[in-house]
Chain A
Amino acid sequence: MPSCPLETGELINLLVAALLELDRNAARDCFQRSALVPLAFAETVLAPALERVGTGWERGEVALSQVYMSGRISEELLDEILPPQQLPDTSHPAMAVAVLDDFHPLGKRIVSSVVRASGFRLADYGLIGVDDLVRRAQNDGIRILLVSTLMLPAALRVRELKECLDRDLPGTRLVVGGAPFRLHPDLWWEVGADGTSATASGVVPLLRRLIAELP
């Protein structure tokens, strides 16, 4: 006998537990027990669950490995229930994510998972230097650029990136993240970025604000 659909709050609780336990089957069960269409499930259950995982990391209750694995499981689930070709046409300004001047993409991957699970489309520029990043952003008409860094020298190069964006793609908003910005909370504005977030889940409300403020 099919079980009754669960309330949204209960679904979020179950999904958070499934994600932290790395239990893909339990995560899939949450969707099946929701009686929601895939897009509604992504927006009202999956995204809030990831946000709660991210908040847990900020509070020291959840580890980065759990944040990453939660993102992976969520991406897999999302691809399964809502393949990229079935996503509705984008209605937000063009956005992209990149790792600046480094070889380690973990932070970018986590941010991508959370942002996509929240219904945004995001171009992925991979591991890239300042010149190529500006050129690609210009070609794609990017209005909001998310940049992940791991080490301090790369974080300091954001200043140069911002100058190039202001010159070649004025009005584009720049969001930065990664260890240097978490450990040095004032660094983001010192290098001229338009925003930062200590967690991937915090990027989503920041994006909504920046989108609303775009001319």
Chain B
Amino acid sequence: MIEMTPLERVLCTLGHREPDRVPFFLLLTMHGARELGVGIREYYHSPELVVEAQLRLRKRYGHDCLYGFLYAAVESEAWGGETAFREDGPPNAAAPCITAIASIPGLAPPRIEGAPGLMRVLAVLAGLKARSQGSVPIIGTVMSPFSLPVLQLGFENYLELIYLHRELFWELMRLNTEFCVAWANAQLAAGANAICYFDPLSSPEITPASDYLQLGGAVARATLPRIKGPTATHLASGRVGTLLDQVAGTGTAAIGVSAREDLAELKAALAGRLAILGNLNGLEMGGWSPREAELQVRRAIAAGAPGGGFILADNHGEIPWQVPETVLEAISETVRRYGSYPIAKEVSPDA
């Protein structure tokens, strides 16, 4: 088979056909700082550094995307929140930016051009588009309107808002939906080819599956059709469980699944309706040997790749800082060695 470009490979698999080989996304963020020998805080404040590092990392590992994600709290910053930076892990949202739920009706979605963090993301996407010449998919990201309040309010306050103050909850969903749609479309306009819609709160591990259609699913159905490009829903390590059909009904093209779910079972259940992104265990990855990485990749390919509709990736949407380069190299090498279509039976180490 003629070698495809990364974009062709990904589009082919999203169409539930088999490309030349299994596409793989190394969703690397902080490793860019290490690649360039700068601190994490400095790195995230320079779109030029992020663009340069994304291109270098892709050159080194040969994966099939460029990642425009900086850190989740960039969105809560736009709403007035602060971010705590550290030098051995991802920046984290500090204290909640909405301190009283009674203030929700008086809030307005932030303007993107007035938020320096969001503007840095747009500069990254524009830089990646300018330097990648259109052959590599560029992934933008949003927090779902349903999941963003964990950063805006804190987890406890948000759960109480959902279950004890339903009117205010829906008011916040209205505001967050407007913000999310504008933010996603700004990223697509800047250079992203697709949007990863992070929605961990919708996992049945966090909110009951029976509530999905009334809560996270209702919000997704109101949000995703207004995003002017393809989307992938990602539950950020959360299980999708019994929600497959409902998530497929939101109009998303792919789903990021948990390392604790059976890829082969998910693939059979989805039957060509959604592509799967996953599901290497990012937390365990830091302790893998190259041999263990090879075995994990081969198992994932054997279970998820036949028939297309599969992108190999970690299960969380961000590879931890602690994962060594030797493991990333082993993942890359294994995909090249065992990921060509048609997938051979001996790819599975358990065969």
Q: Is the CB of A183 within 8 A of B281?
A: yes
Chain A residues with Cβ below 8 Å from B286 are 152
- Give the residues in chain A near B95, CB-CB below 8 Å: 103
| Chain A min CB distance to B58 (Å) | 24
Q: Given the complex of chains A and B, what is the CA–CA distance between A22 and B159 in angstroms? A: 12
Contact with B along A176-209 (1 / 0, CB 8 A): 0001100110110010000000000000000000
Q: Taking each of A65, A102, A183, A187, which has the highest tally of chain B beta carbons within 10 Å of its own beta carbon?
A: A65
B222-270 contacts to A (CB < 8 Å): 237, 239, 241, 259-260
B90 interface neighbour in A151, A156, A184, Cβ under 8 Å: A151
What residue in chain A is nearest B320 (Cβ atoms)?
A152
Is B11 interfacial (CB 8 A cutoff)?
no
Say yes or no: is B92 at the interface (Cβ < 8 Å to chain A).
yes
Q: Is B205 touching A60 in the complex (CB atoms < 8 A)?
A: yes
Q: Which chain B residues lie closer than 8 Å to A180 at the CB level? A: 283
Interface of B, secondary structure class, is loop
Q: Report the contact-size class of chain A (Cβ under 8 Å from the partner).
A: 20 to 34
User: Is B207 in contact with A60, judged by CB distance below 8 angstroms?
Assistant: no
B208 touches A63 (CB 8 A): yes
Cβ–Cβ contact A68 & B92, under 8 A: no
Name A187's closest neighbour in chain B (CB-CB): B283
Which of B182-213 touch A at CB < 8 Å? 204-209, 211
A153 interface hit (Cβ, 8 Å): yes
A104 adjacent to B155 (CB under 8 Å):
yes
Interfacial chain B residues near A69, Cβ < 8 Å = 159-160, 163
- 11 A-B residue pairs with Cβ-Cβ distance under 8 Å, sorted by A, are A63-B207, A65-B207, A68-B155, A103-B84, A103-B93, A105-B155, A106-B155, A106-B156, A153-B89, A154-B89, A183-B237
**What 10 A-B pairs have minimum CB-CB distances, sorted nearest first?**
A153-B89, A106-B155, A184-B283, A63-B208, A183-B283, A64-B206, A153-B88, A65-B207, A65-B159, A63-B207
The distance in angstroms between the C-alpha atoms of A64 and B160, with both chains bound, is: 13
Q: Which residues of A contact B (CB under 8 A)?
A: 22, 57, 60, 62-66, 68-69, 72, 102-106, 109, 151-154, 156, 179-180, 183-184, 186-187, 190
Question: In the complex, which of the residues A22, A68, A152 contacts B283, with contact meaning CB atoms closer than 8 Å?
Answer: A152
Chain B residues in the interface with A (C-beta under 8 A):
84, 86, 88-90, 92-95, 150, 154-156, 159-160, 162-163, 204-209, 211, 237, 239, 241, 259-260, 281, 283-284, 286-287, 320-322
A60 touches B241 (CB 8 A): yes
Closest A residue by C-beta to B88: A153
How far is A184 from B241 in the complex, measured between Cα atoms in Å? 19
Query: Hey, which chain A residues are within 8 Å of B86, CB to CB?
Result: 153
- Give bound CA distance, A68 to B162, whole Å: 12
Cα–Cα distance between A64 and B206 once the two chains are bound (Å): 4
**Which residues of A lie under 8 Å from residue B93 when comparing CB positions?**
103
Give A22 to B95 CA distance when docked, in angstroms.
27
Kindly provide the distance from the CB of B83 to the nearest chain A CB, expressed in whole angstroms: 10
Q: How far is the CA of A64 from the CA of B94 in the complex (A)?
A: 22
Alpha-carbon distance between A103 and B150 when the two chains are bound, in angstroms: 11
Q: Is the CB of B239 within 8 A of A105?
A: no
| B322 A151 Cβ-Cβ under 8 A | no
A186 proximity list for chain B (CB < 8 A)? 284, 287
Partner of A65, one of B206, B241, B320: B206
A164 to B1, CA, bound (A): 59
In whole Å, how far is A86's beta carbon from the nearest beta carbon of chain B?
A: 26
Chain A residues contacting B156 (CB-CB under 8 Å) are: 68, 105-106, 109
Specify which chain B residues have a CB less than 8 angstroms from the CB of A63 in the assembled complex: 204-209, 211
